[in-house]
Structure 1
Amino acid sequence: MSSENLSQWLRDLARLTVASVHPDNLISDPLPAPGRKTLVVGAGKASAAMAAALERAWQQRYPEADLSGVVVTRYGHGAQCEKIEVLEAAHPMPDNLGEQAAKRMLSSVEGLGEEDLVLALVSGGGSALMSLPAPGITLQQKQSINKALLRSGAPIREINTVRRHLSAIKGGRLAAAAHPARVVTYLISDVPGDDPTLIASGPTLPDSTTAADALEILQRYQINPEPEVRAHLEAATESPRPDDADFVRDQSLMLAKAADALEAAHEAALAAGVEVRVLGDDLEGEARELGAEHAAMALDVQEELRQPLLILSGGETSVTVTGNGRGGRNVEYLLGLFDGLKGASGIYGLAIDTDGIDGSEDNAGASFTPDDWAKMQSQGLQPTAYLANNDAYSFFAELGNLIVTGPTRTNVNDFRAILVLPTMDN
């Protein structure tokens, strides 16, 4: 196959992978029995598509049962619903509309009884989209902390620990407001390890972290919070705990996770006669450094190959921002990989965010072929200079290699694929 065809094969594989974890393919029977009142709440980049899929499944299973509610998703990630209201707000920096959506959800679950049912649709991105500050803290103060954490290179589990303890709705507080109603949470995981309490900062699940943990994280990344934020954390107003008896009747169901996406890619590659090595679905670390590590790995394994090999990985890397360029963690990873390979023959790379948005840009990610090294040189581009400025988006834009899908309305985080062909000597 030509270089262009192999690159297209990788892009088609990525498209199939994302489709495998779309809510349309996930929500079906068995559904919980309707409550006296059945209310839907939810937040995340996949929440609108989850709501639309739930509506269809609910209508087929319980055509006479009422269903209503409200979910919030990122701007442009909405879906058509008849019974569930879909709101849109900002991500990754929360805005006033996200705050209003969170207030709407808390208000909607007030006064429910034991015979009522709350269906929570939770996916990645929900933490920023339902940003309701704890009493005494302003949205602007939460935005400041959020921005500092995102630029610090902190992993998502630590970012969400801080978010939970500065929130009036996360860390199980939404479920606590709904009790004694039963709460059933449907989850699409975007976090390494798939801990349900970390997805969207766990609005309907009890929290095992503490306010002291949040303070320690801020100190470790040298983030100095405003006095009101520090005072709130030092007061140690804790989230609902895992041993809270009110959560006994609740249930959580994991609909999709990064491992499912990787398995879909694995099966498709094997069907195409390509060997597969899966590095894991929970890889973290500095994006460019992981890319460089994977470049060294690809070069090493290529020496022994007798047939094509696809190296797959998922998870969520971090980017410590020191420059002022345009980028996201997937293109920064890919540029680290590209630079490490130095145009090695027979090695192709792709990295995307499965939600269709890499960071805050308009692309899902990017890809490259071995031919792109010579193309880069002819254009006078310097990978190290672009990395130094956190400007990987611009680098791949110059090469014409950005992958632009638009919102996919699902989110199991990063998907990375390296196709390694045997050398002529093997």
Structure 2
Amino acid sequence: MMATKSGLREVAYSLFLQSLADCSVEQAFTRGVKREARAGKTFLAVGDDAIDLDCVRRIGVVAVGKATSALLKALLPSLRGLTQCDLSGVVITNDEQPDLPSGFQFFAGGHPTPNQASFDGAEAAVALVRSLRSKAAMTDDSLCLFLISGGASAMMELPLDTGISLEDTVKFHRELVHCGGSIAEINCVRKHFSAVKGGRLALEAKGILSYSMLISDVPLGHLDALGSGPTLPDTSTVDQCKEILARYQLLERFPASVKQFFSSAQLVETPKPGNLTSKAVTLLSPDALAAIVGQRAEALGFYAVVDNACDDWNYKDAAEYLLGRLQELRRQHSRVCLISSGEVTVELPRASDLSCAEGGEKVGTGGRNQQFALYAATLLRPSDASVAVLSAGTDGIDGNSFAAGAVVDEKTLFGEESRLSQAWDALQRFDSGTFFERVGLSIVTGVTGNNLRDLRILLAADC
């Protein structure tokens, strides 16, 4: 497809869909995990390691997150036919799993905040791992496989302080999500709150063979923030947690029980590197997706650049930075594709006040991607032709809307009918989703079964 002045939005949309399809969980799994026969024996190759399945008598699977369905679909064929082996599992995700093997328990964990199934699923996961460890006659006759993807922070939860109720835990999660902090900062606090995060679930498996298979939705270098790191050693500290709580003035926003916990001696360090024996392999990451977008864009004749400098920035700052970067690049190249993976932040009113924004107006529908795209549209003018800006979540869900994101160009707000005042009103009321639905620029994919953070694609082409 050739990029034209009238078709840049369509090109951006096509790049998003095609690149996401290229990064399917199933394809990534088969590249990173394989069942193999060697010298009459059966092995499961995980990364650079080979597990002798003939020696394994018990396999436990703990799968949690948005990509759980696809991960299980890819894993289970590798575990079939092992007649000497007991197979059991705990599955925690937000979509029904109709074809689970006997011995698997399913929990419909909540997202973006926990529910009772999140608590129940966490307790079942801990019980499963403890059972494997108690029955292990030797270190290699029990195998625990952790399948972790984004969304696990809410879907699997259990407070360290058993006196903290589900209701207070939900309020705690809501205030964290809306504080404007980065995913690494939010998950640092979650790790120190939880009995199953920050490596504490893997600590239950210490002494038995265990592997984590990861679909990452976190920044490069912050892998232990994925799902708040239930199976990875934690690089964050109690002091960092306390600093984040103070900087965002969170303690005063938390329920009394949670505030008391973070002020008590129960706030202890999480397991650190050297404390855990579980190994991990990353099957997919946002960087892999960005690289594929770049390759596809170059095949269409664009000069492609990946720039993740604005990861975790406020959405306004990120939009201004990326559009400025795009203008710099187009001074040197006639056709430019600027790619940015990661997330931007949108600080909402206090969770207790979410029913109202300034002036008593009802807070509307949308998410960080649509908020970013709409603000970017306010910065574009017809003289910028030809530019397209796409921002979308790879999981197919943007905030509380039905859309994954939106795509705009220089005509979105300055076409035949100026929509600029409507756009500013929608931004103020966090109602970008309603705006884009009305003008027909929403990106709707449905739930994708993947989760590689958000993706922004900015295109520019000379007339």
TM-score by length of 2: 0.84
Deviations 1:80-117 (A, max 9, x none): 54455443222111111111111111111113222311
Tell me by how many angstroms 1:4 deviates: 5.3
Amino acid at match of 1:421: A
Q: Where does residue 195 of structure 1 map in the other structure?
A: 222
Deviations 1:28-85 (A, max 9, x none): 312433332111002111122111111123349x687553312211247x57544554
Q: Residues 155 and 24 of structure 1: is their aligned pair in 2 closer, same or farther, counting only changes over 3 Å?
A: same
Tell me by how many angstroms 1:242 deviates: 1.9
Q: Where does residue 92 of structure 2 map in the other structure?
A: 72
Tell me by how many angstroms 1:263 deviates: 0.9
Out of 252, 257, 274, the residue aligned to residue 228 of structure 1 is 257
Amino acid at match of 1:9: V
Q: Is the 8 A contact 1:132 1:169 kept in 2?
A: yes
1:319 counterpart = 2:358: no
Deviations 1:124-167 (A, max 9, x none): 11010001122232222222121112111011111111111111
Mapping for residues 139-288 of structure 1, pairs under 5 Å = 139-223=166-250, 224=252, 225-233=254-262, 234-235=264-265, 236-244=267-275, 247-248=276-277, 250-280=278-308, 283-288=311-316
Q: Residues 194 and 124 of structure 1: is their aligned pair in 2 closer, same or farther, counting only changes over 3 Å?
A: farther
* Identity %, equivalent residues: 29
Q: Residues 297 and 282 of structure 1: is their aligned pair in 2 closer, same or farther, counting only changes over 3 Å?
A: closer
Q: Residues 154 and 380 of structure 1: is their aligned pair in 2 closer, same or farther, counting only changes over 3 Å?
A: closer
Mapping for residues 124-139 of structure 1, pairs under 5 Å = 124-134=150-160, 135-139=162-166
Mapping for residues 11-410 of structure 1, pairs under 5 Å = 11-28=13-30, 29=34, 30-31=45-46, 32-34=51-53, 35-59=56-80, 66-75=86-95, 80-82=99-101, 84-111=104-131, 112=133, 113=136, 114=139, 115-134=141-160, 135-223=162-250, 224=252, 225-233=254-262, 234-235=264-265, 236-244=267-275, 247-248=276-277, 250-280=278-308, 283-306=311-334, 308-322=335-349, 323=357, 324-343=363-382, 344-375=384-415, 377-378=417-418, 381-410=421-450
**CA separation in 2, counterparts of 1:41 and 1:351?**
32
Q: Where does residue 11 of structure 2 map in the other structure?
A: 9
**CA separation in 1, counterparts of 2:192 and 2:173?**
12
**CA separation in 2, counterparts of 1:40 and 1:130?**
14
The worse-fitting range, judged by mean Cα deviation, of 268-277 and 289-298 is 289-298
Tell me by how many angstroms 1:240 deviates: 2.0
Deviations 1:308-363 (A, max 9, x none): 11110101111111442222111111112111113431101111100110123211
Q: Is the 8 A contact 1:52 1:80 kept in 2?
A: no
Structure 2: 5+ residue stretches without partners: 35-44, 350-356, 358-362
**CA separation in 2, counterparts of 1:79 and 1:14?**
30
Structure 1: 5+ residue stretches without partners: none
Q: Is the 8 A contact 2:377 2:412 kept in 1?
A: no
Amino acid at match of 1:391: D
Q: Is the 8 A contact 1:192 1:282 kept in 2?
A: no
Q: Is the 8 A contact 1:183 1:204 kept in 2?
A: no
In angstroms, what is the RMSD of aligned CA positions? 2.3
Q: Is the 8 A contact 2:374 2:432 kept in 1?
A: yes
Amino acid at match of 1:181: I
Tell me by how many angstroms 1:3 deviates: 4.9
Q: Residues 106 and 337 of structure 1: is their aligned pair in 2 closer, same or farther, counting only changes over 3 Å?
A: same
Q: Is the 8 A contact 2:122 2:156 kept in 1?
A: yes
Q: Residues 186 and 311 of structure 1: is their aligned pair in 2 closer, same or farther, counting only changes over 3 Å?
A: same
**CA separation in 2, counterparts of 1:291 and 1:126?**
28
Q: Is the 8 A contact 2:60 2:88 kept in 1?
A: yes
The worse-fitting range, judged by mean Cα deviation, of 50-59 and 36-45 is 50-59
Deviations 1:213-245 (A, max 9, x none): 32321221111234432343331333222232x
Amino acid at match of 1:192: P
**CA separation in 2, counterparts of 1:179 and 1:281?**
37
Tell me by how many angstroms 1:398 deviates: 1.8
Amino acid at match of 2:374: L
**CA separation in 1, counterparts of 2:237 and 2:328?**
44
Secondary structure in 1 matching 2:107:
strand
Q: Is the 8 A contact 1:21 1:257 kept in 2?
A: no
Tell me by how many angstroms 1:300 deviates: 4.0
TM-score by length of 1: 0.91
**CA separation in 2, counterparts of 1:129 and 1:180?**
26
**CA separation in 1, counterparts of 2:143 and 2:371?**
43
**CA separation in 2, counterparts of 1:199 and 1:354?**
15
Secondary structure in 2 matching 1:377:
coil
Amino acid at match of 1:125: G
Pairs aligned (count):
417
**CA separation in 2, counterparts of 1:45 and 1:91?**
9
Q: Is the 8 A contact 2:413 2:419 kept in 1?
A: no
**CA separation in 1, counterparts of 2:221 and 2:71?**
18
Tell me by how many angstroms 1:20 deviates: 2.7
